[in-house]
Structure formats: C-alpha cells, structure tokens
Amino acid sequence: MADEKTTITTLKDDRIRGVFSAQKVYKVGTGVTQRKTVQQGYFYAEENDAGEIEIQPLGNNNVPTGTKETITKEDLLEQYAPEPEYYQQQVFPKIRELQKTLARADRHRQRGETFSAEMEYGNALKVDEDNVRATFGIGLCYMQRGDTAKAEDILHRLVKLDAAFGSEHKHLFNEFGINLRKNKMYSESVEYYTRAVELSPSDENILYNKARALFEQGDALGAKTALEQALTINPNFEEATKFINYLVAKKLV
C-alpha cells in the first residue's frame, strides 16, 4: 500500500495527512447474550516531525475530535485504508472552516472584543465540542469579563481534556493559569495545576505553579511539598529554592 501515499498526502514535504477508515470490533451485551459487532470508523491521520502518525477519530461533523493516538506509519498502512475522496470532499473543507472560525475568535479576543470572540468560539464548539483552542478561548473570555461562574464551568471541562495539557497548547495553558490567579480563583487554580501534574509529573515548572496556587489558597505546607518535588526534578531550580526560603523565613512552614 506504500504507493497510495501520494493519494493521501497534501503536505509539501510529503508527509502523510488524510482520512483513513478501519473496522473496529465491539462487544455488545453481557453473559450468554454478549455478541460482537463490527463497525466502520473514520480517522484523521497526520505524520509528525518524528515520522510517527497521530490519529484521531472523526466526529459527527467530519472534524477530528477527541484524544490523539500515536502509531507507526507501518501500522497505519497495514491496519487502515486511505479515504482520499472523503478527505478532500468532506473533511478538509470542514477543518479549514473550523480553523477560520478559531482565527476570527482569536482576533476578537486579542482586541478585547470578548462578546464577539465568545460567539465565534461557541460556533467552533458546535462543530467540535472538545476543541481545546476554543475551550481555552471561551474560558479566557469569561475571565476577562469577570464571569468566574462560567469560567469555572470551562475549567471543569478542560481538566477532563488530556489534550489541553499538551505541548501544542502550552501558550494557552499558561495564559489560562495566569488568568485564574488574576481572578483570584485559587482553588480552581490548584485543581488546574494538580491535573497538569498528573499528566506531566516530571515538569518542575508546573509543580512550581501548583505551589504558587497552593500558597495563594492559604496552604503553605502544600506549597512547600510541591516545591520540594520540583527541586527533586531540577535541584538547580533557583525560583523554587527562593520560594522555600521565603516560607521558612516567614515561619509559614
């Protein structure tokens, strides 16, 4: 199937990107009534810088949604069938439309036009309800307006989305965390960074931010514990050392 690559790639550097189908077996029922059913699924696949394939299921609106899975190129070509016409006619136009909607939303938010931005982010979420960029964006709009109740609802959605804490969304992740603190949403900030630590336990910067959130919440001892964990990962983390020294000097721990 290697020669089919030219029918499914649209990138100038010849990386694979397109829609693939696969048959998945599901078990239905329990006990003696249990039976197997085979369903056809469609997936969006894109080759990353490491030459691996990141694959996502397509949602009802023909856009990639949900958690990405990383597989090898060989697995893709052996286990999935390319669907170039489906990609060109159905999926690519939807992805392009979604990207334009998100770009408009980002421009509105950057100009401080939070209501217009919120509307565009909402339109994006109608197409892809788990879209990380739109979820972050609409949450930031709520916080910029001081609507902490709606921002809290968005936070609870974000902590359930593993992709929200991935490197590709690092800028939005940091901006959201900063705004939680600006709006004095300290317990929400602790929840946010606790979830981030679960997904990236070896990132000393996230542990440091968790420590700040715990301190602002009034938990100096918890802050010290998070700082010590950060220093275990990076003993030369100067900011964490200074923070602990401050806590000790002020007799807070």
End-to-end C-alpha distance for the chain, whole angstroms:
63
d(CA 59, CA 246): 50
Please give the C-alpha separations between residue 223 and each of 45, 208, 215, 230, in angstroms, as whole numbers: 41, 8, 6, 11
Query: Which residue type is seen at 26?
Result: Y
In tens, the pLDDT along 47-100 reads 999 999 999 999 999 999 988 899 999 999 999 999 999 999 999 999 999 999
Long-range contacts made by residues 26-32, C-beta under 8 angstroms, separation at least 24? none
Give the model's pLDDT for residue 20. Answer: 97
**CATH (residue range 2-183):** 1.25.40.10
d(CA 93, CA 142): 30
Domains 2-183 and 184-253 belong to one CATH topology: yes
Could you say which residues of the chain have pLDDT below 70? 1-13, 26
Closest residue by Cα to residue 22 from 51, 52, 53, 50:
53
Give the model's pLDDT for residue 13. Answer: 59
Query: Which residue type is seen at 62?
Result: N
Domain 184-253 has CATH 1.10.357.10: no
Give the model's pLDDT for residue 86. Answer: 96
The label of the residue with tokens 């089919």 reads 4
Ordered by start, the domain boundaries in the chain are 2-183, 184-253
Give the model's pLDDT for residue 133. Answer: 96
Give the model's pLDDT for residue 168. Answer: 86
User: Which residues of 86-240 form beta strands (DSSP E)?
Assistant: none
